[in-house]
Structures are given as C-alpha cells and as structure tokens.
Amino acid sequence: MRIPLGPTQSLEAILDEPAGAPDGAVVVCHPHPAFGGRMDTPLVGALALGFVSAGRAALRFHYRGIEGSDGVATGGLAEHEDVAAAHRFLVERGHARVAWVGYSFGALMALRAIAGGLRPAAYVGVALPTTIIGEDPARVAEVGRALDGAVPSLFVSGADDPICDAARLRTWCTGRAALVETLPGEGHGFTLVGVRAIVRRTVAFVRERAA
C-alpha cells in the first residue's frame, strides 16, 4: 500500500484492518530508522495487531527514504510531515477518529506534527526520547505547543530508560491534559512482558479517549 507524499512521491505502508467495520483508526509510528527502526519493529507490529484485535484499523509506514518509501531521509527534520500524510490518508478513507501512537523517534515525530497544528483523536508516546529534546528552548517550546493542543495524551516509558527521562516528562505535562506512566524494570527496548503491558495500556487509553 502507498500513502501519497506530495504530487510525485509516496510512502510504503501496511494497513491492518479488523474483520468487521472498524471502530476508528490508529497511525503507528516506528523508531529511528538509523538505529534499525522499521514498521515491522516488534513493538510496532504488536501495537498494530493489538488495535486490530480491538476493532480498529492500524496504519504503519516507513518514513521517507526508508525501505520502499520515496524521498530522502532527513533524520527528523521533516519526518513529522510523513505522520501528517498518514493521518490524511486515513481521514480521506473515511475514518473520522484517528489516534496516533509512536515509539521513540516515532513518538517525537508524532508530537512535532501535533505542535504543527494537527489534532488526532488521542496520542500515545512510548519511550519519547527526551534526551534529544534536552533543554533546547525551541524544542521544549514545541513540546509545550503540542501538549497545549488539547489532545488527550499518554506517555509510557521504562523506569530504567536512559533515553526517556520520566521526571522531565512529568515536568512538561504538569497542568496539561497528559498522563505519564512508567513500567518497572524496563528500558528503552522492552521485554515481552513490557510489550504486552504497553499494548494493553495503549489500546485501553485510545478506547477511552478516542471513543
């Protein structure tokens, strides 16, 4: 399947759908491709199948310049536009309620798209790489714009994740419509137990907030 990206380019994608009429849809965004992130990354695939089992369509895609997707990878400068393209694709197929879930780099790109003005029905950021954002004023301000956009948001991370600082996340989320939850004993990559917990919590959050 192809997602249009401008007049001449497109993104490689997989759309998993339930047997019956879908009860909403979800865009699932994969981790950084420079570190092996792909749309078949185990957690990304598990999230997609979890949503399908819950009756929602799940769209996964490769960012620009990765695998079969057109364009040139930019390392995060423009990949948030790919998230927006995936969202538009689902809306144009008739899905009125589209939620977004991103893992690591995918969580950051989805958050950047929200900061740019798009409003998914709900957002879940798994292992958001807060170390990339750091204390850079422009990047922190972008996070603030996203979280001020009234999108129901949930951040989930491992308690032992060196790349996602839960304390920093809680500071950013204070006073905003966003929740932060941590999984004991988990790092930036997740055990099978962690994957199952993330899928369960993410699907439940989207069901509650994007009904």
Alpha carbon of 133 to those of 22, 56, 139, 151: distances in Å?
Answer: 35, 31, 6, 20
What pLDDT, on a 0 to 100 scale, did the predictor assign at position 21? 85
Q: What is the 3-state secondary structure (H, E, C) of 33-65?
A: HHHCCCCCCHHHHHHHHHHHHCCCEEEEECCCC
Distance CA 93, CA 135 (A): 39
What pLDDT, on a 0 to 100 scale, did the predictor assign at position 177? 87
- pTM to 2 decimals? 0.97
CATH number belonging to the domain at 2-209, selected among 3.30.230.10, 3.40.1120.10, 3.90.1150.10, 3.40.50.1820: 3.40.50.1820
What pLDDT, on a 0 to 100 scale, did the predictor assign at position 96? 87
178-183, strands of its sheet edge to edge: 2-5, 9-16, 57-61, 25-29, 98-103, 123-126, 153-158, 178-183
Q: Which residues touch 59 (CB under 8 Å, ≥6 apart)?
A: 3, 13, 14, 15, 16, 25, 26, 27, 28, 86, 89, 90
- Phi first, then psi: give them for residue 53, nearest 5 degrees: -65, -25
Distance CA 179, CA 156 (A): 8
Residues of the chain short of pLDDT 70, as ranges, are none
Measured N-to-C along each axis, helices 192-209 and 42-53 cross at an angle, to the nearest 10 degrees, of 40
Structural domain boundaries in the chain: 2-209
